[in-house]
A and B are shown apart, each in its own frame.
Chain A
Amino acid sequence: MTESKVLSLNALSKRFGSVVANDAVSLDLHRGEVLALLGENGAGKTTLMNMLFGHYMPDGGSIDVASPKGEMQPLTLGHPQAALSAGIGMVHQHFTLAENLSALNNITLGSEPLFALRRDRAGARAKVQGVMDRTGLVAPLDTPVGKLSVGERQRVEILKALYRDARILVLDEPTAVLTPQEADTLFENIGAMTGDGLAVIFISHKLREVLAFSHRIAVLRHGTKVGEIATSDADERVIARMMVGEDTPVTQRDAMTPGAPVLTLSGISVRNPSARDSLTDVNLTVQAHEILGIAGVSGNGQSALASVISGLRRPDSGSIQVDGDEILHPDPKTMIKAGVGRIPEDRHHDGIVGAMSVAENMIIERLDDPEVQTNGLLNRSAMAANADRLSQAYDVRGPGINARARLLSGGNIQKLILARVFEQGARLILANQPIRGLDMGAAAEVSRRLLEARAGGAGVLLISEDLDEILGLADRIMVIHDGQLTEVTSRNREDIGLKMAGEHT
């Protein structure tokens, strides 16, 4: 690694209304270096990178980028075009690909003259092919991007940047959507590219890959840079302390003897036009005092499974038993009555009604309860008392119980949902991606509550794409792939990862 600087961010600041997203953050990057940018959700990582790429106009500070000859030159702020021509490429967390176009068209979009009558397709293809040969990042060029796998789409995103001769590559949570194997391949490719002098900044939540693949780690907290450390000097504890400012309590998982089955699915099949959302002959049992983890890459039938258990989708065949009773006509109300509590995957859209108040959201699943209504009229004082009590008990923070629920942060929305689920004494808790996108504090709280429910005799079905989360919480693990479930006995990352990728070992 040579020590020549390619990028320096100088005291960048950005405010959104009264929220300070970045406060005078400075950062340097060198040729051939891999810098990991770490921090909790809302620490300002993505904002910082969006300023670098010109999506946001900074309120203060400046950016210098090295020219191809190595002289540092100020970057025009607030223009993606300027960042692109200075050699900065960015791979966003949510892919910025047009799905109706081929990969080749996505790659060349914006780099050829708009008003020319003819296009040089052969030249462009040869150049992309050259980049693919050099880096090992291979993607089919002529298929519409909508038909590519997630891993392929990500490679197209990276190719987009490299096609424009990026010397600095920013990756925002690149492995969030990949299988462990795909992630390892990605980092191998990155390793090869940095050998050619490319400098990489990647944002991640996963300490394991940060420690394995970066050279240097910078940590953001509450919008300021709280520290930088060479990866060789770091371990998980040191980094976690830098991120949250204190030692995080390790979640304690006591051994427990499973009790009677609370959920039994037998031979459940769901046929959907899209194969990504179908289930084939699914059998599973969740017992009391047990957390069953369902691992898998998104789009392998998780949402169909969750819909069946929450009563949103009637299976085409098979039977469902909750707490020993067969559910003949599953619909959401029946399932809630039978004792299923759901923590939905998309908490903003399916977990709350954003336009209704916090207090209303807390009782929304038990509107026929005489405690909250008499003869169809809501008992507002009981609702308020209930909301006050739950906000206290579950630490739901926000502008108050009468504020609209959409004003809460993601972590507090999740706590509101937890309060609702646990208060109705659910026998089975369907937790679909309960921790994704939460900061460490809120994530630890969710984990604690799930374990508490398990201790209290409930069964938990935990669906997650994050293997570390599953390994940390689940008593038993099943892998979902292509709509089918397989039990895994091994707790080895490698073995589970292979199953997630659909390989039978």
Chain B
Amino acid sequence: MMDILQILLSESFWAASLRIATPLIFGVMGALLCEKSGVLNLGIEGIFAAGAMCGWMAVWLGAGLWGGVLIAALAGAFFGLIHGILTVPLGLSQHVSGLGVTLFATSLSYFTYRTALPNVSSPPRIEPFRALDIPLLSDIPFLGPVLFQQTAMTMLALLVVGLVWYVLNRTALGVALKAVGDNPDSVDAQGLSVYGLRIGAVMVGSALMALGGAFLTMSAFDAFFFGMVNGRGWICIALVIFASWKPGKALLGALLFGAFDALQVRLQTEVGAMVPGQVFLMAPYVLSIFALVVAARKAEYPRALLTPWFKGQR
């Protein structure tokens, strides 16, 4: 027990939690934006892979790090556009289209990587984002190392949470987004474009998802591997439900998952001799299923989620 307490009180544990949570924060904000407008985006897992590959590839080819971030976001928006066109004006099944985008984006990313680098045995590395060292802030005891010695992308993720919250709760655009996710007729009757709002939300949301992927290759690691997304996208879909479509709660959920993950790594080294390692690997997922069961029963779904809307049909 003392060991767990010691872990929970250590700076490095909380810093790791936030680091592990960062791609989830991007992903969960992206999924939340899409779903608030009424479109489930199961393309998330593939869009993570595309973001990871495109961001890394851009930097490897000579772009700056922020150039890579931008390219990754554009790649995400592109796959979002595909999903948006298929599900919004064409009204196809959001599940099928989303899974299709995941398969397509994942395969295309691997294919592009292999085509560009046919003969490498170990993945080439780039110079990734470095941990920040902000004068004064980084020197605050405990908070400094946890919050302000992260990379710029983690700072960006936290900024995105605030931004999404502000847009949804304080701007006319946010009101329109929430309306189109609840009853598209309300938006249409007031002269706004249902298609425009939904496709826009899916594109911006997908761009955020791609940033989650870019974090993996440009901040957490410095290279692109096959299978590196490893279900993070799916976790985000679950986290959105856990958060009942609220940005603040979504951030909390992502941090919680990050903390579970950081904890299991540390526990493994502490008591690994007694318990098989797989139990620890499994723990964050079991805990998130448990949290989901508790939270999802009370979740307030956007009423029009999954329901296509067609102009001139009422």
Contact = CB atoms under 8 A, between A and B. Distances in A.
A111 interface: yes
Contacts of A106: 179, 186
Interface stretch (B55-63, B90-98, B107-115, B187-195): B187-195
A22 B91 CA distance: 28
Nearest to B189: A96
Interface in A88-143: 90, 92, 94, 96-101, 105-106, 108-119
B176 interface: yes
Interface in B185-206: 185-192
A293 interface: no
B176 A109 contact: yes
Contact of B303 (A56, A94, A99): A99
Given A98-B186, A160-B190, A112 B172 contact: yes
A100 B178 contact: yes
Contacts of A117: 171
Contacts of A282: none
A55 interface: yes
B183 interface: yes
A96 B171 contact: no
Contacts of B314: 50, 55, 92, 94
Contacts of B173: 114-115
Contacts of B182: 98-101
A50 B314 CA distance: 9
A50 B312 CA distance: 9
A383 interface: no
A116 B171 contact: yes
B171 A97 contact: no
A233 to B, nearest CB: 35
Q: How big is the A interface, by class?
A: 20 to 34
A479 interface: no
A84 B172 contact: no
Nearest to B313: A55
Q: How big is the B interface, by class?
A: 20 to 34
B183 A97 contact: yes
B187 A110 contact: yes
Contacts of B286: none
Given A92-B185, A109-B187, A110-B190, A98 B171 contact: no
B170 interface: yes
Contact of A110 (B185, B191, B302): B191
A307 interface: no
B183 A81 contact: no
B192 A109 contact: yes
Given A109-B179, A114-B173, A114-B176, A56 B312 contact: yes
Interface in A402-421: none
Nearest to A144: B182
Nearest to B177: A114
Contacts of B302: 100
B188 A98 contact: no
Contacts of B300: 100
Nearest to A89: B189
For the complex of A and B, the 10 pairs showing the least CB-CB separation, nearest first, are A110-B190, A81-B191, A98-B179, A96-B189, A96-B185, A98-B182, A98-B186, A112-B172, A96-B186, A100-B182
Interface of B: 170-173, 175-176, 178-179, 181-183, 185-192, 300, 302-303, 312, 314
Interface of A: 50, 53, 55-57, 79-81, 84-85, 90, 92, 94, 96-101, 105-106, 108-119, 160
